[in-house]
Every structure is written in structure tokens, then in C-alpha cells.
Amino acid sequence: MDTEVKTTCPYCGVGCGVIAKVAGDGKVSVKGDPDHPANFGRLCSKGSALGETVDLDGRVLHPEILGERAEWGQALDLVAQRFSDAIAEHGPDSVAFYVSGQLLTEDYYVANKLMKGFIGSANIDTNSRLCMSSSVAGHRRAFGSDTVPGTYEDIELADLVILTGSNLAWCHPVVYQRLAAAKATRPGMKVVVIDPRQTMTADIADLHLAIRPDSDVALFVGLFEHLIALNAIDQNYVAEHTTGFAEAFSSASGTSFNEVLELTGLPAMQLREFYRLFAATEKVVTCYSQGVNQSSSGTDKVNAIINCHLATGRIGRPGMGPFSLTGQPNAMGGREVGGLANMLAAHMAIESAEDRNRVQRFWRSPAIAEKPGLKAVDMFRAVADGRIKSLWIMATNPVVSMPDADAVEAAIKACPFVVVSDVLKDTDTARHAHVLLPSLGWGEKSGTVTNSERRISRQRSFLDAPGEARADWWQLAEVARRMGFSQAFDFPSNAEIFDEHAALSAFENNGNRDFDIGSYVGMNRQAYDELPPFQWPQPAGHGATETRFFAKGGFYHADGKARFITVKPAASDRTNADYPFTLNTGRIRDQWHTMTRTGKSARLSSHIAEPFAELHPRDAIEIDVGKAGLVEIESPHGRAVVRALITERQARGSIFVPMHWNDQFAAKARIDALVAPLTDAHSGQPASKNVAVAARRF
Ligand code: SF4
């Protein structure tokens, strides 16, 4: 008999609802859930192919110690022992967890609780550091909280949608479909795409601004200055709900129009038109993604954008606001439970003694991390130089995705004790594990995820756990138990973890923190299983969902006001005579991350079958590479060899290479091996774009 289950897509941060059907013969097919408010029945190519990726080929089906099959008890005892030994001998900061935006919120919650509240270190960071941590830092600086003010509906309601550093058509395809449908219905709606490359998203643009890489701060500081010069400021909003305007203004007024032209490389007519459109349009949404975040100036870019929305009071009202589009299915859920090394839980601040005390009292824990832990790049540096003695990696493949990936691989290889929890046996990372633990995959695991618009949805299981695979939260709780923390990790099921998470969000909250889902405390298991998608906040005792923030102020700084952040434009060209090209990495439409799941679908691989380097025709002539010839790309950190894709959609002097491929699918195509481990000073997010490289015919 066929069974149908409502669940959520495990790929991007759009968080589409999926109806999965398991036929009598075990075949899985999927369709979009018409009732899910993120997608209303739509799916993109990746989501539609989910049924093709649930086979058991390559799965790790039982625990392994040093490549040999082991019993769960043996493996868990060993993990607990090695972590306890390292802590006893070298202190709590000698161990670390590196987790993932692929984890469910319940997994994340238990990992964070164990590390920050019981081990007493904040050395838990996540691959979301590579995805959107600059947005988190920008939100916290401006709003006093990590709050996305708007909803997807705002993109449909806006009269001007600005997409900066976002190839929406390929990276958030269903939001793109919603935008395209809205524009088709209201042709007067304008779309501006800001991207050095002419991506597929640029095809919908009324105006494409091919700015120089990393010149976004200059562009938005220039806009801020222009808005002031035009007297297009919402004086009431600025006076009542913000501070820091005068300082930001005084700094911006030092940036002339000509300087913006020079830094961005834009033609004057295009720049004027962009500034005119923004000033003249009340309903503006500015969406931004990895082109903004993955930068050494990512946080400043975010704040330069937010400054313009605060100055015009265009925030939190229908069709208005800055909008961070998260890359991963549960980057937001991870933020909510404190999955980042510099956050606590339920959006509380690790720097605040009051917050630390509150969380410790709630957990009744023996310890609490006193300071922020190591962020991803620093964490792997600490692994490399021997400060980290035991490392647990969950649901991520840093040997492919981290910057300076060869150095990361060498660090993991040399680490005295590495645990990997994953679904696949032979990833570039899993092959270095001392202990490999079999985790549940999509369709097998069950819990919640949060999408870019703060909507919490259920991922539900519809397949049996294969072999001896177990949930990540269960693995963590069992290790915690063996480390002597039985009572605090006695979770009979994921429902009790969600309940505790909801209770912590409401604990002594009183409206002081943005994240509050107190109305879901005390649900029974059936109610949890049936939980429909909802947006936070949902405080106990409040009926209606508040879908937008900050239209009337109410920011989370102590004075209730937002902060204008003074940001300074700077030259961003990193090229030199030895490395004269700018490498830009990113996603393609039909692959996801390091291809461990999408790589299984022949249909998805037929879109683009192999890694490539997008080059401008004149650059191809210069380095003597013909159509489909091989290009060798090199930086001081590594090299890759990929096929040339020669196109005028690429800017001169720039090269785009997708980040997906790894040694499993194509030799010498791990492009993150070339990326320097350079990070944003505020967020610690690596600059995965704007990398100086050399390119030559291979
Ligand atoms: Fe999945 Fe994102 Fe595609 Fe939606 S848009 S189906 S969440 S990959």
C-alpha cells in the first residue's frame, strides 16, 4: 500500500514543503506540498529529484573503529573516553564539535547543550559559519538580535526587489519562481541584480549592476549618501527608533559619487539609475546571500544595506526590508539553538553574564562556556597546531568545503582523535575518521528545520533506519550519558528535545529576546508529529503570529533602538602580477554542497556533468585556452584543473568555479583548496569569493 508523508526539502534555505510517497514496491516519489507557505506546491529540480537520492549505495550502516566494524556500545564508549581524557588532561577547550546546517534543530540543540553547558567550552561551530554568519553579525550590530525582519511574501509585494550577491534563480529557485510570478503579474515591479557575473538571475533584471567583486560597501554607502542628499530620509523613524545616524552620515559624506564609480567599476548612468530607483520607490526589499556574506567585509556589507533601509524606515512593513537568504536547510535553526561558537542558545549572548547564568540555571548544568569558542577557520587551525585533541564532525564534509581545504585535510589527518557522524562511508572527510558513526539521512530522520523567513517546519521520517544508523541527537546523548551527564540528556525522543528548546526560548524572556516559541511548550508527541509550519516568534499566550519585525521599532538593544553602523568603503582588488585573476566560487542549479546526495541522481548530473571554469572570451585568448580546453587554476594554497566554459556572461579578469566537486567525482576539482583562509573580522566568515589566482592552459 502507498504511504504519503508531509516533510521538508533538505537542501536550501527556502525550506519547501514536500509530500513524499512510498509506493508498495518501496519506490519513493515526491511532489511539492500545496499547503506549505514557503512554496505552495512548487519544487525546483533538486527538490523534485529527492526520490532518486534515497538509495543505500555508499551508506555507512554500522559503526566503525579504524575502518573495522564495531558495536554501538564499543564506539560510543571510545568516543566518551577519548573526549573525557582530553578534557581531564588538557581542559575543555581541547575538544571541539564541527557541525552542520544539515542537522535538525533537535540534533543541534543536544550538541550545543553538551558542549557549552556540560563540557564547558564554546568550541562548537558549524558549516553555517561559511554560509551566513556575516548576516548574523550584521543583524546583531544593527538590531541587537539575529532577526530577519520580513517574509517571502514581501518579495512578492515589493515594487523594487534588489538582489545583491544572490544567484536566486539557481540557489533559491522557488523564491525566484515566486519573484518571477509576481513580476509577471505586476510588470511595473522592478528588479535590480548586483553581481559581477551575468548569472541566470540577471536575466530577470531591469538593471544588472556588474560591480567589481567586494565593492558592495561602496555601492550602499554611496546610496546612503544619495538618500540624504535627496532628503529621502524618514526623519521620524530615524529620530524615534535609531541611534548613530549622524556618525554614519558624516562618514558617508566623505565618499563621493566619483569614488563609488571608481570602486564599483560601474558606468555613471547605471549607478544613477539604481540610486534613483531606490530613492523613488517606497516598497523596496533588498535580498542578499553569499556574495555579500562570503567576504572579508561581509558584515560591513550587511550593515551598509541595513543602514539604507533604516534611514528610509523601510523595514518590517509589507513589501519592505533587508532580507538575508540563508543557504542551508537549517542554518536558521542552528542559530536558534546556539550552534555558532559565538552564540549561546535561544538567541542569548555568550558575552552576557546574565544570559550565561540564565542558560546554566535552565540546564542545571555543571559548567557554562565563559567566552566565545573557535570559529570554523580558527577551529581547524587549532586542530592543525595540536590544540584540539578530539574533534567530532557531524553531517558535513570540511575537507571539500572549508577554505584552504588541503590544509584542513592535513589537520584532520594529524588530529589524535576524530569522530565523523555521516550517512556516507567514503566522503573526503569520513575516510580520516578514527570512529565513524552511521547517521540517519533525509526520509529516515525526524525533527524540525527553520527556513530563511523564520518558518519552522517538520522533517518527518517515511523510511526505516537502514542497518544500525541512528539519529545524531541520540549519538550525542549517548556519549553525554557515558561522560557522566545522564539526567540532562535523558531524552526519550526528539519531541522532548523540541519541548525543552521551546521552554528555554521562553525562560525569563518577557519580550526581551526575539526568538520565543513558548506557545509550543508542553505539546505531546502526537501534536509534535502533526506540527504544521509556523513562523516565530510564538510566545505563550499570544494568539497571532507576528510575521514582521521593527515597523514600529522595538529593537533588541537595551534602549530599544536600532544602530546605524559606520562602514567605510575600501578597495577590494586582491590580484597581483603572479595571481592576476579573481576567482569566485559558488553553486550551480542542480547540485548541492559536496554532492554526497545530488551526485546520486543521473538526472541532476545531466544539467552540468563536470566542474568548469567560467572565463571571459578575451581572457581565454590571453591564456590560450580554447572551447572545452582544460584550465589549471592556482593560488598560493592549492590548484585545480577544470574545463573552460568561455562566455561573455563572465566579467573580464574573473573566473567562476562551482564549489561542489570533490575527488570522489572529479580529480583535482576541490576548488576550496585554492581559497585563502581569510575571514571577516566581525563574523569569522571566510572570504570564499574574490580570491586572487593564476590561470593557464593545462
Ligand atoms: Fe528544496 Fe530549495 Fe529547491 Fe525548495 S528551492 S525544492 S528547498 S532546493
The CATH code of the domain that includes 373 is: 3.40.50.740
pLDDT at 98 exceeding the cut of 90: yes
Rounded to whole angstroms, the Cα distance separating 326 from 13 reads 5
Residue 540, in any domain of the structure: no
Q: Which of 325, 350, 375 is the last residue of a domain?
A: 325
Residue 387, in any domain of the structure: yes
**pLDDT range class, residue 544, cuts 50, 70, 90:** low
| pLDDT of the residue at 661 | 84
Quote the domain boundaries for residue 607: 581-697
Q: How far is the CA of 170 from the centre of ligand 1 (A)?
A: 10
Q: How far is the CA of 46 from the centre of ligand 1 (A)?
A: 7
State which ligand 1 atom lies nearest to the alpha carbon of 329: 7
Nearest of 697, 643, 642 to residue 673 by alpha carbon: 642
Q: Residues 489, 365: contact at Cβ < 8 Å?
A: no
CATH number at residue 46: 3.30.200.210
CATH number at residue 652: 2.40.40.20
pLDDT at 337 exceeding the cut of 60: yes
| Amino acid found at 577 | A
pLDDT at 596 exceeding the cut of 90: no
Percent of the chain with pLDDT over 90: 91
Q: Which whole-number Å values give the CA distances from 419 to 106, 440, 483, 500, in the listed order? A: 20, 16, 16, 27
Q: How far is the CA of 418 from the centre of ligand 1 (A)?
A: 32
How many other β-carbons are positioned within 10 Å of the β-carbon of residue 609? 11
| pLDDT of the residue at 328 | 85
Residue 551, in any domain of the structure: no
Task: Count how many domains the chain has.
Answer: 4
Which string of DSSP letters, residue by residue, matches 190-237?
EEEEE-SS--GGGGG-SEEE-PPTT-HHHHHHHHHHHHHHTT---HHH
On whether both 158 and 174 belong to a single domain, the answer is: yes
Coil, strand or helix at 68: strand
pLDDT at 664 exceeding the cut of 80: no
pLDDT at 666 exceeding the cut of 80: no
pLDDT at 665 exceeding the cut of 60: no
On whether both 106 and 202 belong to a single domain, the answer is: no
On whether both 317 and 343 belong to a single domain, the answer is: no
How many other β-carbons are positioned within 10 Å of the β-carbon of residue 532? 12
Mutation to probe ligand 1, out of 45, 172, 175, 587 (largest number of atoms < 8 A from CB): 172
| pLDDT of the residue at 332 | 86
Nearest-CA residue for ligand 1 atom 4 is 16
Q: Which residue has the higher pLDDT, 694 or 598?
A: 694
On whether both 379 and 484 belong to a single domain, the answer is: yes
pLDDT at 668 exceeding the cut of 90: no
| pLDDT of the residue at 543 | 64
- Predicted model pTM: 0.96
CATH number at residue 164: 3.40.228.10
Residue 568, in any domain of the structure: no
Average pLDDT, the chain: 95
533 secondary structure, DSSP code: P
Q: Which whole-number Å values give the CA distances from 409 to 403, 633, 640, 670, 672, in the listed order? A: 11, 20, 16, 12, 12
State which ligand 1 atom lies nearest to the alpha carbon of 12: 2
How many other β-carbons are positioned within 10 Å of the β-carbon of residue 186? 12
**pLDDT range class, residue 593, cuts 50, 70, 90:** confident
Q: Which of 275, 296, 325 is the last residue of a domain?
A: 325
| pLDDT of the residue at 597 | 86
State which ligand 1 atom lies nearest to the alpha carbon of 14: 7
| pLDDT of the residue at 547 | 87
Q: Which whole-number Å values give the CA distances from 675 to 149, 581, 652, 688, in the listed order? A: 32, 13, 20, 6
Q: How far is the CA of 181 from the centre of ligand 1 (A)?
A: 17
On whether both 119 and 159 belong to a single domain, the answer is: no
On whether both 226 and 156 belong to a single domain, the answer is: yes
| Amino acid found at 576 | N
Residue 554, in any domain of the structure: no
* Ligand 1 neighbours (beta carbon < 6 A): 9, 11-12, 14-16, 39, 43-44, 46-47, 172-174
Nearest-CA residue for ligand 1 atom 2 is 12
Average pLDDT over residues 262-266: 97
Average pLDDT over residues 324-352: 92
Q: Which whole-number Å values give the CA distances from 474 to 7, 72, 118, 471, in the listed order? A: 21, 11, 16, 5
On whether both 309 and 355 belong to a single domain, the answer is: no
> Cβ contacts of residue 487 below 8 Å, gap of 6+?
none
Task: Output the 3-class SS for 23-40.
Answer: CCCCCEEEEECCCCCCCC
Which string of DSSP letters, residue by residue, matches 290-355?
HHHHSSTTHHHHHHHHHHHHHHHT-SSSTT-EEEE--SSTTHHHHHHHT-STTB-STT-BTT-HHH
What pLDDT digit, counting tens, does each position of 160-214 carry?
999 999 999 999 999 999 999 999 999 999 999 999 999 999 999 999 999 999 9
Residue 632, in any domain of the structure: yes
| pLDDT of the residue at 217 | 97
| pLDDT of the residue at 378 | 98
**pLDDT range class, residue 594, cuts 50, 70, 90:** confident
On whether both 164 and 72 belong to a single domain, the answer is: no
Rounded to whole angstroms, the Cα distance separating 472 from 595 reads 20
On whether both 490 and 417 belong to a single domain, the answer is: yes
State which ligand 1 atom lies nearest to the alpha carbon of 32: 6
Average pLDDT over residues 255-276: 97
What pLDDT digit, counting tens, does each position of 203-261 carry?
999 999 999 999 999 999 999 999 999 999 999 999 999 999 999 999 998 899 999 99
Residue 560, in any domain of the structure: no
Residue 549, in any domain of the structure: no
What pLDDT digit, counting tens, does each position of 445-498 carry?
999 999 999 999 999 999 999 999 999 999 999 999 999 999 999 999 999 999
Least confident of 47-51, 183-187, 657-661, 693-697: 657-661
On whether both 146 and 122 belong to a single domain, the answer is: no
Nearest-CA residue for ligand 1 atom 3 is 44
Q: Which of 498, 518, 535 is the last residue of a domain?
A: 535
pLDDT at 508 exceeding the cut of 90: yes
On whether both 106 and 165 belong to a single domain, the answer is: no
On whether both 165 and 301 belong to a single domain, the answer is: yes
